[in-house]
Amino acid sequence: MRIGELASRAGVSVRALRYYEEQGLLESERTPGGQRDYPDTAVERVRFFQSMYAAGLSSRRIADMLSCFDNGTTNAQQRAMLAEERVRIDARIAELMGARGRLEELIVAASDRAG
Amino acid sequence: MRIGELASRAGVSVRALRYYEEQGLLESERTPGGQRDYPDTAVERVRFFQSMYAAGLSSRRIADMLSCFDNGTTNAQQRAMLAEERVRIDARIAELMGARGRLEELIVAASDRAG
DNA sequence: GTAAGACCTGACGCTAACGTCAGATGCAAG
DNA sequence: CTTGCATCTGACGTTAGCGTCAGGTCTTAC
């Protein structure tokens, strides 16, 4: 498929896809006219990127774990990195839950005042 | 206390405190010499900021809910905003847990391969 | 009174994941 | 063949929460 279709199917912008390619995350064939051509599997791949970005990983980090995503094998360094990122995500979740609690306090206190 | 002490007690940089003042989040008295002087309550206040920043709120958003933090009262707009931010945080937590799950899959798959 | 820090006000730098614009080309339809 | 939309390659713009440097002032210990 071409870039526009991939963008809409994966829920990202065309610009984002070109950026992923720049970062070495996403390859593509080219048509004789020079346009990018993606396989169907690219949709899932891009969604994986989005998920990792949403979790706060950098392009570099995602690139480092790509072989792991592609064929399910890892070296020691990758295993350490995966575990490290999991810890980081857990910490982020804890922060967010803390903030949620603070917000909740404000809401409860305010509703008490409001009756 | 002066700015350096507040910074170390709240766990942020001196620059950050001046930035919070710029954004209208943090007031201070001034000594005759022109240096900032903070009350003890500023420590907790700054920690609240950090928690909100960590949850992805902008300075503007935090400023908008400050009166709520200060005296526990809200107007309708603030109540709506607090609820909205809570929803946003919940969504972020869900994203993170999704990403965590994906990572977990990679880890499990890789450990299967590794034996 | 002076040396050493802490603090002051600008003001530019930084980062990362894109947004956006410009000017040119590819491609399917009528 | 041309109309018109999708796509192409640069390349500069954006955003937000600070980092950092420059040059000058305040405070405190000796």
CA dist., res. B55 & res. B85, Å (int): 9
Question: With an 8 Å Cβ cutoff, is B30 touching chain A?
Answer: no
Going from N- to C-terminal start, the domains of chain A cover 1-71, 74-115
The CATH architecture of the domain made up of B1-73 is Orthogonal Bundle (1.10)
Q: Positive or negative CA dihedral for A73, A76, A81, A87? A: positive
CA dist., res. A41 & res. A32, Å (int): 22
DSSP string computed for A2-67: -HHHHHHHHTS-HHHHHHHHHTTS---EE-TTS-EE--THHHHHHHHHHHHHHTT--HHHHHHTHH
Question: With an 8 Å Cβ cutoff, is A51 touching chain B?
Answer: yes
- Which residues touch B70 (CB under 8 Å, ≥6 apart)? none
Closest protein CA to C1' of nucleotide C27, residue: A33
Specify whether the CB–CB gap between A113 and B72 falls below 8 A. yes
CA dist., res. A109 & res. B54, Å (int): 22
Give the number of other CB atoms < 10 A from CB of residue A65: 20
**Is A3 within 7 A of strand D by CB distance?**
yes
Nearest-by-Cβ selection for B74 from A74, A83, A110: A110
CB-CB under 8 Å, A98 with B74: no
| Three-class secondary structure of residue A88 per DSSP | helix
pLDDT 10s digits, B32-85: 999 999 999 999 999 999 999 999 999 999 999 998 888 888 888 888 999 999
CB-CB under 8 Å, A113 with B73: yes
Nearest to A109, CA basis, from B90, B25, B68: B68
Question: With an 8 Å Cβ cutoff, is B70 touching chain A?
Answer: no
Q: Considering only the top CATH level, what class is A1-71? A: mainly alpha
* Per-residue pLDDT tens digits of chain A, which is 115 residues long: 999 999 999 999 999 999 999 999 999 999 999 999 999 999 999 999 999 999 999 999 999 999 888 888 888 888 899 999 999 999 999 999 999 999 999 888 877 665 5
| pLDDT score of B114 | 59
CA dist., res. A57 & res. B27, Å (int): 35
pLDDT 10s digits, A99-112: 999 999 988 887 76
Nearest to B83, CA basis, from B71, B70, B68: B68
- Which of B85, B88, B93, B105 to probe by mutation at the A interface, max A CB count within 10 Å? B93
CA dist., res. B114 & res. A95, Å (int): 33
Specify whether the CB–CB gap between B36 and B3 falls below 8 A. yes
Specify whether the CB–CB gap between B48 and B69 falls below 8 A. yes
| pLDDT score of B74 | 83
Question: With an 8 Å Cβ cutoff, is A107 touching chain B?
Answer: yes
Specify whether the CB–CB gap between B42 and B21 falls below 8 A. no
> Which chain B residue has the Cα nearest residue A49?
B99
**Is B72 within 7 A of strand D by CB distance?**
no
- Which residues touch A72 (CB under 8 Å, ≥6 apart)? B106, B109, B110, B112, B113
CA dist., res. A103 & res. B87, Å (int): 11
**Contacts of residue A45 in chain B, CB cutoff 8 Å?**
none
Assess whether pLDDT exceeds 70 at residue B115. no
pLDDT 10s digits, B90-106: 999 999 999 999 999 98
**Contacts of residue B54 in chain A, CB cutoff 8 Å?**
95-96, 98-99
